[in-house]
Amino acid sequence: MENLKDLLKGEGYKKVSFKISKTQHLFIRAKINGVWGDFILDTGASNSCIDFSFIDFFNIIPSDSDTKASGAGANGMFTQVTYKNSLQLGRWRCKSFNFVLLDLSHVNTALTEFKTKNVHGIIGADVLLRGNAIIDYKNKLLYIN
């Protein structure tokens, strides 16, 4: 019987490594509009998001949104959206992806308190669902198709 890695490779999955921080967050690198950044891989986040302070960094065009965001530690946060961005995780690519823009300073403040690297944003369930993702925690690999 084939092992999981070979089976998924045969199905066209790409593997992307991630790191587990001392805070138990999964850290992953992502390329947005041609620029690499650091993100938390969060299966509980419904939408992928980028901190407002990195709009210029990732060459993002923000659009207004009536939606208020909620998450661990914050509720009713002002948001914007950005449409049709390129997204890359390892060799997996999506040519037109939408992100929520919001203030993630509370996330980075918490990470700083634990002397952990700050992030540009969060990769959420929208990416994982789109790519039929499988997370291999033992080997610290994300398989995405």
Check if the beta carbon of residue 118 is closer than 8 Å to that of residue 111.
Answer: yes
Tell me the whole-structure pTM to 2 decimals. 0.90
User: CA distances (Å), 116 to each of 25, 27, 56, 122, 145, in order?
Assistant: 10, 10, 24, 15, 30
pLDDT tens sequence for the chain (145 residues): 368 889 999 999 999 999 999 899 999 999 999 999 999 999 999 999 999 999 999 999 999 876 655 554 555 678 899 999 999 999 999 999 999 999 999 899 999 999 999 999 999 999 999 999 999 999 999 999 9
Contacts of 143 (CB under 8 A, 6+ apart): 8, 13, 14, 15, 16, 133, 134, 135, 136
Please, what are the domains in the chain?
A: 28-140 (2.40.70.10)
Q: How far apart are the first and last CA of the chain?
A: 22
Q: Residue 4's pLDDT is what?
A: 83
